[in-house]
Amino acid sequence: MERDTDRYRSLTRRALMLGGMQVGLLSTLVARMYYLQVLESDRYTVLADENRINMRLLAPSRGQVLDRFGVPLAVNQQNFRVVMVSEQARKIDRMLSLISEIVPLTEADWRRITREIQRKRAFVPVTVKENLTWDQVTMIEVNAPDLPGVSIEVGELRSYPYEAATAHFLGYVGAVSESELNGDPVLALPGFRIGKSGMEKFHDASLRGVAGTSQLEVNAVGRVIRELSRQEGKPGRDITLTVDIGLQQYAQDRLKEEKSAAAVVMDVHTGGIYSMASNPSYDPNLFTTGINAETWEDLLSDPTTPLTNKVVAGQYAPGSTFKMLVALAALDSGIVGPRHTVFCPGHMDLGDHRFHCWKKGGHGTLDLVGALKHSCDTFFYDLARRIGIDRIHDMAKRFGMGQRTQLDLPSERPGLIPSREWKQANLGKSWTQGESLIAAIGQGYVLATPLQLAVMLSRLVNGGFAVKPHLTKQIERGPAEQTAWPSLGVNKTHLDMVLQGMNAVMNQPGGTAYKMRIAEAGFEMGGKTGTSQVRRITMAERSTGVLKNEQLPWRQRDHALFVGFAPLHAPRYACAVIVEHGGGGSAVAAPIARDILLEVQRRDSARGVPQVSSAVPAAEPVQPAPGDKPGRIGG
Amino acid sequence: MNGDFLGHQPELSLSEKLWQINWKLILLLTAIASIGWAMLYSAANGSVDPWASRQAVRFGAGICVMVVVGLIDLRIWLRLSYPIYGVALVLLIAVEIVGEIGMGAQRWIDLGIIQIQPSEIMKIAIVLALARYFHAASLEEVGRPTFLIVPLLMVLAPVGLVMKQPDLGTALMVMMVGGAIFFLVGVRLWKFAVVIAGGAGSIPVAWQFLHDYQKNRVLIFLNPENDPLGAGYHITQSKIALGSGGVAGKGYMMGSQSHLNFLPEKQTDFIFTMLAEELGMIGGTGLLLLYSLLIAYGVIISLRCRNQFGRLVGLGVSTNLFLYVFINIAMVMGLIPVVGIPLPLISYGGTAMLTVLFGFGLVMSVYIHRDIRITRRTLAGEL
C-alpha cells in the first residue's frame, strides 16, 4: 500500500504537470486566435472580401435617336444569343448538333465553340450563336428539357429601322478600337459599341450613359454564387433630331433615281435640318453586326462614294446658285444701283480673253432680276468686273460660304471662297480679274457643300439673319432649338430684289426653272438653278461646238445644282440639291428640289405645323406676285 | 487486503452501475457534438443532409457504445488490454498487406457493413496496453531502463506501421499518447530529453523516408506563401477565414470563406476554421473551453480512481482527446504542418467519433469502478 501511495503521488504530480502543459498549449491556441482574429483581423477581412467579391460592369442601354416627331431612328433591339455551359451540357458534340437543328452552325462556329470550351472554365457560358430570330429563340426554349446547359441570353443590338435612309447623318456604332480606349472601364466591356460616325459619334457621350456595377460573390473557382449589390447604371439619354423621317425617306427615295446625288432641307428660321439625303447610301446595320471585308471594300472603292455624306462633305462648284450673292455684294457695295442693266451679246471680253455666257446668242439687255431669271453669265461678269473679288468674298462669307457651318455632325467640309490672300498664300500667285469673273458665276476656285448652299439660301430668304444649321432638336429635356439669330445687316430692299429674281426663275415664263414650278396655291416656291462645269472647255471645243453632256463619260459631265425655297411668300423651307454629273440644274436638280419642297409643305400642313415661326421676323413677302400675274415681277 | 475500509462494495450490481452512469460526461460530450451538428448543418448550406443527420445518428450509436463500455467491469478491460492491442496491431499489419495489394495510402479495412480504420483502434489500444503494462509497476521498476524496452516497442511498432500507411498525424498521436503515459508513470525527465534529442538527430535520416507530399507539407508549412495556389492554399485560406471572422464572427451560416468553397474540407479537418469564421474568437474559445472542461473532468475522474490501471486509462484517454483538439486546431491555424487529424466529435466522420466515445466509455468505466481493487488475483484472471 505504501508502494501505491508513492506511485499515486508521483502520478498526481505528473498528471498536474501534464495538465499544465496542456493548459499552456491550449493557451497558445487562444493566443494564436487572438493574433489572427483581433490583431490581424482587418488584413484578413480585406483578403476574404477580395476572395469573394467580383465587380462586374453593367453596360448601360444606349439612348435612342428620334426624329422631330418622336419616331425612333436608332433603337436598341433585343439581341438573343444562345449560350451553353459545357459542364451541364456534358456531351458537347451531341448538344451542338441538337442546337444546329434549330440554329444553323457553320464549320467555323463549331471550331470556335470547341476552342472556347477548352479555354474557359466548365461553368462559364460559351456563346454558341448570336443574333437569333424570335422563332429560333422559342424553338430553343421549347426544347429546353432536351438541352441541358443551353440557354438564351438577351443583349442589346443597335438597330436602324430606316437603314440606308438615315445612314449618313445617324452614322453607326461599332466595336471600340484600341485607340478609343480612354480608361473608361465601360469601353472595355466585351461587345460594347460606340458611335463611329454621324450623330452616333457626335452625341456619343450623351447616348452612351453610365455603366452600372454589380458586385458578385464568387466562390473559390470563380463560379458566381449570388449578387451582393447592384447599382443600376444610367441609360444613355435620348436625342431628338430636327429630321422628319418621312421627308427623309421621301428625299432619299427621290435621289435614288440619280446615280449620285444629295439634297438637304432646312428651316430658314430655326436652322433645323428636316432632311439630309445622300445617294447612294449603305445599311448601317451591317456595321453593328460586323461588316465583312468584301462589302467594306466594295463600299470604299465605289466611285459614287456611298460612305460619304455629300450634303456636308461633298464640295462642288456652286455654279449659278452663287449669283445671288454676287448680286447682293454688288448692290451692297453701292457701285451698282438697283436699276443697273447690262447688255449680253453672249459673251464678255476682258483684255484679250473672251468670257462666254451659257446662252451662245446672248440675252440682250437685262436688269438684275432678269439676269437671275435667265441666269445670264454676262451680267454677273459685269458685276464682278465692277466690284472685284473682295466684295464677293466678303458677302459669301457673311452668308456662310467657305467655312464650316458648325453643324452638329462630324466630317463637315469647309468649301472654298477664294480671295486675293487665299490665292497668294496657297498658290503663290496674285489674283487676276478674270478669276473674279469666273468666281462670279460660281466656277473656278469656288467650292460649296450643299449644306452651305442651303444655309446661304436660308439667310437670303429669312430676312438676312445668320441662321446656323443643326440636326439636334433636343437632348432629352436639354436646350431647345435656338431661334434668335443675329442680323447680317444686309439691306432689305436688296434682299427683296434677289428674291424677286428667284421668284422669276420659277414662276415667270422664260425663267430657267419655269417648267418645274409648283402650281399648287400656297405651296409655290422660288429658286435658282446651277450647272457647274467639271471639265475645262477648250477654245478649240468651243469653236466646233461644246459637247453635250450625254456625249461625255459620266465623270466629265456637269454637276446639276438647285437651291429653292418655299412657300414663296413666307419662306420657311430651304432646299439645296446636287446631282453629281447630272447635267443641267434646271432639268435634273430643279425637279428633285420641287418634289421635296412640295412634300415637306404637304407633310407639315397635314400635321398642322405652323408655317411661320413667330420667334423670327419673317422675310418680307416678295413683291406682289399673284400666281396669275407673274409677268409683273422682274419684267 | 481489505478493500472495504471505505465501506464500498468492490462488486457492483448492474442497477448500481446504472446509477453510477456519469451524466455530466454525457452532457459535456453532447454539448460539443451539438456544436458539431450545427456546424455541419451550416457546412451543408442549411441542410441536415448529408452530414449533420448522419453525424447525429453516429453520435447516438456512439453514446450507446460508450455506456456499454462504461458498464463493463474495468477488470475485464484490464484483461482484454493485450488482446485488443494485439488485434489492433494485426489489423495494422493486415492493412499494410492489403495496402500493398491495393494502391496508395490504405487506412481502412472494409468489412462489408463497416469500414474499420485500425490506426484509430490503436489510439485506444495503446492506452490500454500501456496502462496494463504499467499497472503493477513500481516507481523503482519504472526507473529501470530495461523495464521500459517492452512498452517502448509497444509504442514504436504501431507508430512505424502507421507512419508507413502513411498517416503522419495518427503516428504522431500514438507516439505522444505513449509518451504521455511514460511521463505519467514517472519516467525520468532526462530520459525524455535523451529521446527527443535522439529524435531530432534522426530527422535528417527520417526525412529520407518521407513521401514527397509529406516533405512538401512540411516545407510549405515553413513557408506557406511559396505555394499560395497549391498545397499552401489550404492553410492560407484557412487563416484568411479565421482572421476575417474577427472577435464576434461573421454570423452563423454567413462564413463567406467556407460557404464559397475557399475553405477546403470544411466539414472534416477544417471545420474549426468555419466555426471560428462564423462564430469568431468568442465561439472558438468557447469550444476550447468545453474541450478543456471535458479533459479536466477526465483527469479528475482518473485521479479519483483507486487503481493505477484506471488512472492511466483515464489520463491516457484525456490526453488523447487533448491531442486531437490541439493538433487539429494548431494545424488549421497554421501553427503546425497540415496533418490529417479531425476535430473530435465535430468533424464529420464515424471512426474518430467512435474512438473518442469508446475512450470516454472507458473513462466512465473508470468512474463507475473507481473503487475496485485490482489484485494479483485479478491479474491472474479472477474478478
Size of interface A-B (CB pairs under 8 A): 141
C-alpha to C-alpha distance for A614 and A273, rounded to whole angstroms: 18
Residue of A11, A15, A30 lying closest to B288 (CB–CB): A30
Closest CA to A526 of A459, A622, A403: A622
The answer to whether residue A633 scores a pLDDT higher than 60 is no
Band (pLDDT 50/70/90 cuts) for residue A395 is: very high
pLDDT for residue A1 is more than 70: no
The shortest CB-CB distance from B333 to any of A11, A32, A218 is to A32
Q: What is the pLDDT of residue B108?
A: 67
Residue B8 has pLDDT above 70, yes or no: no
Higher pLDDT, A632 or B337: B337
Instruction: Inspect the interface and report whether the beta carbons of B281 and A34 lie closer than 8 Å.
Output: yes
Residue pLDDT, tens place only, A128-182: 888 888 898 998 888 888 888 888 888 888 899 998 899 999 998 888 887 877 7
Rounded Cα distance between B200 and B193, Å, is 10
Contact flag B281-A40 (C-beta cutoff 8 Å): no
Closest residue, chain A, to B328 (C-alpha): A29
pLDDT digits over B127-158, tens only? 999 999 999 888 888 888 899 999 999 999 99
Contact A11 B299 (CB under 8 A): no
A15 shares contact with chain B (CB less than 8 Å) = yes
Q: B104 pLDDT band (50/70/90 cuts)? A: very low
- Percentage, residues of chain B above pLDDT 70: 87
Per-residue pLDDT averaged across B206-229, rounded?
70
- pLDDT digits over A484-532, tens only? 788 998 999 999 999 999 999 999 998 999 999 998 888 999 999 999 8
Q: What is the pLDDT of residue B125?
A: 95
> Residue A625's pLDDT is what?
38
- pLDDT at position A562 over 60: yes
CB nearest to B242's CB, from A28, A37, A51 = A37
In whole angstroms, give the CA distance from residue B75 to residue B57: 30
Q: Which residues have C-beta within 8 Å of that of residue A484, sequence separation ≥ 6?
A: A615, A616
Over chain B, what is the mean pLDDT? 86
Is it the case that residue A288 has pLDDT exceeding 70? yes
Chain B CB contacts of A4 under 8 Å are 308
Which chain A residues have a beta carbon less than 8 Å from that of B326? 22, 25-26, 29
Residues of chain A numbered 220-239 and touching chain B (CB < 8 Å): 220-221, 225
Q: Residue A623 above 80 pLDDT? A: no
CA distance B237 to chain A (A): 8
Report pLDDT digits (tens) over A35-55. Answer: 999 999 999 988 888 888 877
In angstroms, rounded to a whole number, what is the distance separating the alpha carbons of residues B313 and B75?
12
Mean pLDDT over residues B100-119, rounded? 62
Q: pLDDT tens digit string along A70-80?
A: 999 999 888 88
Q: What are the CA-CA distances from residue A629 to residues A237, A339, A500, A620 (Å)?
A: 52, 22, 13, 19
Is any Cβ of chain B less than 8 angstroms from the Cβ of A3?
yes
**What is the arithmetic mean of pLDDT over B360-383?**
81
User: Which percentage of chain A shows pLDDT scores above 70?
Assistant: 93
Find the CB nearest B261 among A3, A49, A219.
A219
- Does residue A11 belong to the interface with chain B, where contact is any CB pair within 8 Å? yes
Q: Is the pLDDT of residue A313 over 60?
A: yes
Average pLDDT over residues A345-362: 90
Taking 50 as the threshold, does the pLDDT of residue B197 lie above it? Answer: yes
pLDDT at site A457: 95
Taking residue A544's Cβ as centre, other Cβ atoms within 10 Å add up to 8
Determine contact: A28 vs chain B, CB below 8 A.
yes
What is the structure's pLDDT at A374?
93
**Closest residue in chain A to residue B306, using alpha carbons only:** A8
Q: Which is it for strands A150-159 and A72-85: parallel, antiparallel or unpaired? A: antiparallel
Chain B residues closer than 8 Å to A221 by CB: 261
Within 199-228 of B, beta carbons closer than 8 Å to A belong to none
Is residue B262 a contact partner of residue A51, using CB atoms and an 8 Å limit?
yes
Q: What are B178-189's pLDDT values in tens digits?
A: 999 999 998 888
Please give the sequence-ordered ranges of beta strands (E in DSSP) within A141-288, or none if there are none.
Answer: 150-159, 173-175, 193-195, 212-218, 224-231, 239-241, 261-267, 273-279
pLDDT of residue B102 exceeding 50, the answer is no
B212-222 vs B232-245: helix axis angle to the nearest 10?
40
Q: Residue A193: is its pLDDT beyond 60?
A: yes
B window 243-262, beta carbon within 8 A of A: 243-247, 256-257, 259-262
Q: Looking at chain A, which residue has its C-alpha nearest residue B250?
A: A45
- Cβ–Cβ below 8 Å for A33 and B285: yes
Contact B181, B123 (CB under 8 A): no
Under the banding of pLDDT at 50, 70 and 90, the label for residue B229 is: low
- What pLDDT shows up at residue B3? 42
- Confidence grade of residue B114 (pLDDT, cut at 50, 70, 90): low
- In terms of average pLDDT, the best of A460-464, B164-168, B260-264 is A460-464
How confident is the model at residue A634, as a pLDDT?
29
Indicate the helix (H) or strand (E) that contains A343: strand A342-344
Select the more confidently predicted residue: B109 or A349: A349
Task: Give yes or no for a contact between A50 and A60, defined as CB atoms under 8 angstroms apart.
Answer: no
DSSP, collapsed to helix, strand or coil, labels residue A205 as helix
Nearest-Cα distance to chain B for A14, in Å, is 5
CB contact under 8 A, B281 and A37: yes
**In this structure, how many other beta carbons lie within 10 angstroms of the beta carbon of residue A191?**
14
The CA distance from B365 to B66, in Å, is 9
ipTM: 0.91
Taking CB atoms and an 8 Å limit, are B319 and A18 in contact across chains? Answer: yes
Strand B109-110 relative to strand B115-116, pairing: antiparallel
Distance from CA of A42 to the nearest CA of B (A): 7
CB contact under 8 A, B185 and A14: yes
| Whether A208 contacts A186, CB under 8 Å | yes
- What's the mean pLDDT in A202-226? 83
Report helix, strand or coil for A84. Answer: strand
pLDDT at B103 over 80: no
Judge whether residue A255 has pLDDT over 60.
yes
pLDDT digits (tens, 9 = 90+) for A74-102: 998 888 888 888 888 778 888 888 888 88
Q: Which residues of A are catalytic?
A: 320
pLDDT at A527: 94
**Which of B130, B233, B240 is most worth mutating to test chain A (most A CB atoms within 10 A of its CB)?**
B240
Residues 32-71 (A) with a CB less than 8 A from some CB of B: 32-34, 36-38, 40-41, 43-45, 47-49, 51-52
Ranges A514-528, B197-211, B216-230, B253-267: which has the least confidence: B216-230
Give tens-digit pLDDT for B319-348. Answer: 999 999 999 999 999 898 888 889 999 999
**β-pair type (A347-350, A261-267):** unpaired
Residue A600 pLDDT > 60: yes
| Chain B: closest CA distance from residue A56 (Å) | 18
Judged by a CB distance cut-off of 8 A, whether residue B292 touches chain A is yes
**CA angle at A608 for the pair A606 and A613, rounded to the nearest 5°:** 130
Q: How confident is the model at residue A268 (pLDDT cuts 50, 70, 90)?
A: very high
> pLDDT-derived band of residue A626, with 50, 70 and 90 as boundaries?
very low
Closest to A268 (Cα-Cα) out of A54, A64, A499: A499
How far apart are the CA of B216 and the nearest CA of chain A, in angstroms?
Answer: 23
Grid cell listed for A468: 446656323
Indicate which of A22, A23, A38, A41 best probes the interface with B, i.e. most B CBs within 10 Å of its own CB: A22
- Read off the pTM: 0.65
CB contact under 8 A, A36 and B257: no
CB B315 to CB A40 under 8 A?
A: no
